[in-house]
Chain A
Amino acid sequence: MRFVLAALLLAAPAAAASPEFEQRARSLIDFYAHPTGSGEPGYGTIAAKLYLREDAEWCSRRLEELLAAGPSGDMFWMFPVTSIAYLDRGQLSDSARRALRNAWKTYAPYRGDTENHFLLYYTCLYLMAQLWPDLPGSEWYTGKPSEANLAEAREWIESWVRLTTRRGQGEYDCTHYIGVYLLPMSYLAAWSNDPAMKKRAEMMLDYLIADYAAENLDGLYVGAHARTDDRQVVEKWAAVASDFGWTLFGLGRPQEPPGGYALYYLLASAYEPPEILKRIATDRSQPYAHYERKRTRNRWRFHDELHGPVYKTTYVRREYAVSSDQGGVLQPIQQHSWDVTWATPDPRGAHNTLFALNPHSSLHELQSYFVFAPDNAIEAVVRSKKTYDSPDKLLGGSPYEKIFQDQDTVIALYDVPRGARFPHVNGFFSKDLAEVREDASGWIFARGGEALIAFRPLQPYQWKPIAGGGRRLFSPYRQNGVVMQVAAASEYPNLEAFARAIRALPLQTRIEPTPRVVFQSLRGQKLEFTYGETPARNGVPLDYGAWPLFGGPFLEAAVDSEALLMKHGSLRRKLDFRRLTVEEFNE
């Protein structure tokens, strides 16, 4: 099955050929409404056809077949059938409608254990309780009447908006899960009868899209991620974020075929971002540093606070982005802490990134974030997250990694205790790197697209092959570190000139008793970082206490503000979630 727009996109440069938002939306909906593959059409096709007011009889029949087979998937079942219920608009047969109603009595979805699970679950419960008001508890799988379901759902959704606009998302900036945050907000913006809920959801769409817009590079979601996966961490394009980059802004290329989240987003509000967000998403005329504060997921055990702070730094320019968090296990299993991602004309299949990590898996990590019993926790995780317990993995945070980023310089230090299962550092060196050279100075120089990269391991290493291409830098030292400096190809005549500039930079490194680096960056900053201590720039320690919820040329928000100011040129757009107002003005 091929997405029909793939051919269109290939026909001309993306910037010139991108259809307007409505055309993109229509093409994606058409694609789902008229599947050409051999598989049995699912809920997505029913929803798309109902949206287009096509084949109502088939929609009713197919819906009944799917429901008769038995719902499964919990909240991932709830959102497609919720859209079908709202897109019905008199098209479904009484029999199909009864089957749908009955499913919400006889199938009890699990609410899940993550923020996206809860948001999907409660958004759908909210809308269905609104659709079927005044039903007694006996008509709902919850056993609660419609009014109680609605109230419970509303309370959780409102609390999530408050927490997010005060302390950031817990599942922040996910290459995949961006879809399951945009989707519920799109539903509520379209279908909530409550004007306040509708307004709040529209504003959250702005909020979430702004978060992505400031950290995308030609549609690729860059930055430290709460969650990504084994493929997306190296092939940055292969993500739901690519579908939304293309759908919302005409950036990059959607997946082939695009995933269903963008479809359901479009079938509901089809919210088109305002002009200022389009500019933020596409303007890479000047390099910029962008800061965000997020929070950890719920930490059930071993911590005094339920949520810990996450401090993100992202440096973006036309050619590349360098991104990081502060290190540590901020999220379980699928965290990605730092990398450089370079722009590439065609990201499909490209591994346009470079990074390193200490591979880490532990019962402590899993029991911090989940309620797992001790003995089968890791094995249960590995069933679906295959690499979690692998020494050669390229995904996940480590309690033994500490990170300091200043503009396009990253210093990552490691101090892995004796007895740790994986006492080494993995570095990902892509098949798409060019001109890789191991310099006698100890630096490794390479070019990724138009990004020139200098990578300095602090300890000896070996190369190991990676299935799927590229090499893994393996450094079997517990006390370790990496310095990475990136620059644009336009800044130097060639890689050798870049290498000369790097070699000339003052660099002091120490391994014992704890790793330490003092480095004069290419941007003229003196960076000092000792493992376990607050890093300093030009002698001034970083002030984590002053870290903004959003900070940079495009977005501003203070911690606890429940507000966001978007900026581009003289344009301003201010969201105030306490008053539920949106203010646009020129400055």
Chain B
Amino acid sequence: MSPIPILLLAVAAPAAAQYSLYTAMATTKGYVVGAKLLPSGVFRRAPAGEWRQVGHPHPFVFAVDYDPRDPSKVYVAAGNGIIRPSLDEQAWTFLTSADVTEARDVAVDRNGIIYFGHAAGIRVSRDAGTTWKEIGGELPRKFTETIRVDRERPNLLLAGTEDGLYRSEDAGGSWRLAGASGWQLLHIAQSPHDACHWMAATQGGGLFASRDCGRTFENAGEIGVDRSLYDIAFDPRSAERIAICGWGPGVQLSQDGGKTWEARNAGLPRNDVWSVSFDPAKPGRLYASVHEEALYVSDDLGATWRKDSLDGSIVYRMKWIPEGGAR
């Protein structure tokens, strides 16, 4: 693959409301166990367009989130646990210890409380990662691939486990099955337009949706059934526009709130897509990570695509983080 440019940002602090795209990714094309690690870990793309490694290289990073009170506080779910990288130098701090491995997802609420799902449950920290408490004890199956916290109600959690989607109204004190029973969850997303509209992607069970604040999730049609759906993106500019992606379905776009879907794969090298994301600053711009090909970009909502960067990569998750937070 072509090397990822790692350039120092030599520009003044960006204006408010600008975002940087963060990717949790690994370059796996041609990689075998034991070989020297190809560009992998967390990369940040500044508004000017260049990519820069955040923290150290790492072969298994799966999700990124940030403290909405201070976007410079970024948290990464990784094979070694939960990591807080430095945004200014190649350094980081492991926030978890030997008792946590295989962190799968991380979510930070509006008060800076950190939740993460891992191979053996869910943990929470109320002191920025200094101490942790396990809160997945009541779940019938502990493996938690995805965790989200309601952006308006901080104690409301949704957890995607290996056996369905669970909801907690008391910050993980208790859990109740909300839907997708028997299915492995792969991702959960909340609409930025309607806090009571949630969608969840599964391994084989298709897409599930909730319009009642996550109390119940019901199957949302045939899309993705018998395939794996890995990501859900709500367009921040249009309440009815949603993109999902997966292996087989590729990129699918709905412009009616998820009632109908249209494939948007023309120009992609294959229909195996790990993640998809709308650019909050550029209307109509959509990014998609195509398995071991590259990050692709479309400026017409997926009608056409062109290769962007990150050759040979898998981007497990994309996250737009506001620039200009305290350092």
Tell whether A and B belong to one assembly: yes
Which B residues from 140 to 163 make CB contacts under 8 A with A? 141, 143, 162
B15 close to A (CB within 8 Å):
no
A133 close to B (CB within 8 Å):
no
Contact between A137 and B36 (Cβ–Cβ < 8 Å)? no
A523 close to B (CB within 8 Å):
no
A160 to chain B, nearest CB (A): 10
Contact between A373 and B230 (Cβ–Cβ < 8 Å)? yes
Contact between A110 and B58 (Cβ–Cβ < 8 Å)? yes
B327 to chain A, nearest CB (A): 16
A374 close to B (CB within 8 Å):
yes
**Contact partner, B59, options A110, A143, A153, A374, Cβ 8 Å:** A110
Contact between A111 and B79 (Cβ–Cβ < 8 Å)? yes
- Contact A113 to B32, CB < 8 A, known contacts A300-B120, A376-B291: no
A505 close to B (CB within 8 Å):
no
In the complex, chain B residues whose CB is within 8 Å of the CB of A70: 36
Contact between A152 and B97 (Cβ–Cβ < 8 Å)? yes
Contact between A371 and B102 (Cβ–Cβ < 8 Å)? yes
- Which DSSP category, helix, strand, loop or mixed, fits chain B's interface? loop
- Contact A137 to B93, CB < 8 A, known contacts A298-B119, A371-B104, A376-B291: yes
Among residues of A, the one whose C-beta sits closest to the C-beta of B79 is A110
For the complex, count residues of B whose C-beta is within 8 A of A: 41
Which A residues from 64 to 96 make CB contacts under 8 A with B? 70, 72-73, 76
**Contact partner, A113, options B36, B91, B98, B101, Cβ 8 Å:** B101
A256 close to B (CB within 8 Å):
no
A306 close to B (CB within 8 Å):
yes
In the complex, chain B residues whose CB is within 8 Å of the CB of A72: 35-37
A interface, how many residues as a size bin? 35 or more
A371 to chain B, nearest CB (A): 5
Contact between B94 and A155 (Cβ–Cβ < 8 Å)? no
Chain A-chain B contacts (Cβ-Cβ < 8 Å), number: 85
**Contact partner, B92, options A143, A156, A367, A373, Cβ 8 Å:** A143
Among residues of A, the one whose C-beta sits closest to the C-beta of B162 is A301
Contact between B162 and A107 (Cβ–Cβ < 8 Å)? no
A362 close to B (CB within 8 Å):
no
In the complex, chain B residues whose CB is within 8 Å of the CB of A141: 56, 92
In the complex, chain B residues whose CB is within 8 Å of the CB of A285: none
B228 close to A (CB within 8 Å):
yes
Contact between B102 and A144 (Cβ–Cβ < 8 Å)? no
A583 to B79, CA, bound (A): 41
A153 to B79, CA, bound (A): 17
A301 to B203, CA, bound (A): 14
A380 close to B (CB within 8 Å):
yes
A478 to chain B, nearest CB (A): 25
A443 close to B (CB within 8 Å):
no
* Interface residues as binary, B116-152 with A (CB distance below 8 Å gives 1, 0 otherwise): 0001100000000000000000000101000000000
Which B residues are closer than 8 A to A by beta carbons?
28, 31-37, 55-60, 79-80, 84, 90-94, 97-98, 101-102, 104, 119-120, 141, 143, 162, 184, 186, 203-204, 228, 230, 247, 272, 291
Which A residues are closer than 8 A to B by beta carbons?
70, 72-73, 76, 106-108, 110-113, 118, 122, 137-138, 141-144, 152-153, 155-156, 159, 298, 300-302, 306, 367, 371, 373-376, 380, 383-384
**A113-B79, A371-B143 provided; 18 other pairs, C-beta below 8 A?**
A72-B35, A73-B34, A108-B56, A108-B92, A122-B98, A142-B93, A144-B93, A144-B94, A300-B102, A300-B120, A301-B162, A373-B228, A374-B184, A374-B228, A375-B247, A375-B291, A383-B32, A384-B34
Q: 9 shortest A-B CB distances, which residue pairs? A: A143-B93, A108-B56, A156-B98, A375-B247, A384-B33, A72-B36, A300-B119, A301-B162, A301-B143
